[in-house]
């Protein structure tokens, strides 16, 4: 029996590993994929603010009948032209044009929540991470996507954020000291030798111009979009999780039965 428990534990270990994530600091989006209203709001935002440039071409509009919308709701609220409910969520703009205008193609976002490490948290942090940077072509930069080509399309809702920089002296890939002003950091680095370099990092963002939404309302918009993109990246996830519980229960019960059968069969042989 001990062996059996060990085997089951080992079999479940990859799941535990997958739950953790590392890398850059991301804000927690705390999305809830069971929240159909959030997915609906996110879909509406996506169609209105994002589909000028990004498609979701691996899903059909019809998908949203699974999250509580009727076909008429979908036609009235999510489909801008007159298409069919079974159409894929494609867009007219070729990716090449975006590459010309923004220096980078605007990728299809159907799977982005699965591609980006951190998933919904990454998207949430990205949508909150735009800040003014006059050196960039679009006038903005981003805390989780440095030198991004996308303009901050939601700036009227969020407002304008200015960066508060700090200057880190790095050595061997580690920050050894940090300063508020660049000259001090440069002096420190010079004193310590050639292998020390100064890196400008964004320490915080300060709202200098308010948007039409309050910060809490904007967070909600970012969370809705993150929920929506997490949903389209894997619409069967909820179903799979529900089913997974039954599969594991079955395996546990079956193991017990198999063990009892083994005992029964070998009883007379020993």
Q: Pick the closer one to ligand HEC by CB: 114 or 237.
A: 114
Count the Cβ atoms, other than its own, within 10 Å of residue 239. 10
Nearest residue to the partner ligand HEC, using Cβ: 50
Q: Which tokens go with 134?
A: 């006059």
Interface of this chain with ligand HEC, residues 104 to 163, rule: CB under 6 A: 104, 106-107, 109, 112, 116, 123, 126, 148-151, 153-154
Select 125 or 170, whichever has its Cβ closest to ligand HEC.
125
Q: Which stretch binds ligand HEC (CB under 6 A): 65-73, 97-105, 156-164, 197-205?
A: 97-105
Q: Do 152 and 140 contact (CB within 8 A), yes or no?
A: yes
Closest contact distance (angstroms) between CB of 99 and ligand HEC is: 8
Question: What is the residue whose two structure tokens read 């960066």?
Answer: 163
Nearer to ligand HEC, 145 or 179 (CB): 145
Count of residues interacting with ligand HEC (CB under 6 A)? 22
Contacts (CB under 6 A) with ligand HEC, residues 42-61: 49-50, 52-54
CA distance 234 to 232: 5
CB of 72 to ligand HEC, least distance (A): 25
Tokens of 194: 């050639």
Q: How far is the CB of 200 from ligand HEC (least distance, A)?
A: 19
For residue 197, CA distances in Å to 86, 163, 180, 183, 236 come to 55, 21, 15, 12, 48
CB 54 within 8 A of CB 110: no
Of the candidates 30, 24, 54, 23, the one whose C-alpha atom is nearest the C-alpha of residue 144 is 24
Distance CA 53, CA 188 (A): 45
Closest CA to 89 of 247, 253, 228: 228
Site string for ligand HEC, 173-212 (x = CB under 6 A): ----------------------------------------
Q: Which is nearer to ligand HEC, 98 or 189 (CB)?
A: 98
Give the span between the Cα atoms of 182 and 189, in whole angstroms: 11
| 52 or 244: CB nearest ligand HEC | 52
| Exposure of 67 in the CB half-sphere (CA atoms within 13 A) | 25
d(CA 157, CA 48): 13
- Looking at beta carbons only, is 198 or 221 nearer to ligand HEC? 221
Nearer to ligand HEC, 152 or 166 (CB): 152
Structure tokens at 27: 């804000």
Residue 98 binding ligand HEC, by CB under 6 A: yes
CB 261, min distance to ligand HEC, A:
52
- The residue ranges that bind ligand HEC (CB under 6 A) are 49-50, 52-54, 98, 102, 104, 106-107, 109, 112, 116, 123, 126, 148-151, 153-154, 225
């Amino acid at each position: 029996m001990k062996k059996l428990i060990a085997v089951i534990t080992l079999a479940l270990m990859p799941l535990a590993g997958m739950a953790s994530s590392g890398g850059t600091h991301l804000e927690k989006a705390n999305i809830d994929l069971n929240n159909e209203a959030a997915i609906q709001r996110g879909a509406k935002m996506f169609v209105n603010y994002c589909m000028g440039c990004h498609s979701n071409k691996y899903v059909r509009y019809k998908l949203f009948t699974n999250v509580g919308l009727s076909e008429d709701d979908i036609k009235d609220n999510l489909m801008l032209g007159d298409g069919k409910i079974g159409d894929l969520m494609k867009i007219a703009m070729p990716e090449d044009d975006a590459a010309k205008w923004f220096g980078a193609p605007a990728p299809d976002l159907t799977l982005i929540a699965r591609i980006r490490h951190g998933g919904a948290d990454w998207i949430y942090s990205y949508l909150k991470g735009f800040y003014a940077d006059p050196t960039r072509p679009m006038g903005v930069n981003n805390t989780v996507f440095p030198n991004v080509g996308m303009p901050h399309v939601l700036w009227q809702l969020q407002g304008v954020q200015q960066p508060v920089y700090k200057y880190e002296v790095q050595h061997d890939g580690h920050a050894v000291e940090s300063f508020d002003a660049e000259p001090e950091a440069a002096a420190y680095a010079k004193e310590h030798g050639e292998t020390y370099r100064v890196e400008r990092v964004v320490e915080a963002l300060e709202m200098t111009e308010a948007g039409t939404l309050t910060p809490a309302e904007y967070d909600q918009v970012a969370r809705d979009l993150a929920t929506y993109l997490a949903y389209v990246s894997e619409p069967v996830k909820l179903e799979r999780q529900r089913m997974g519980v039954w599969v594991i229960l079955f395996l546990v019960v079956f193991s017990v039965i198999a063990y009892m059968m083994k005992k029964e069969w070998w009883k007379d042989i020993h």
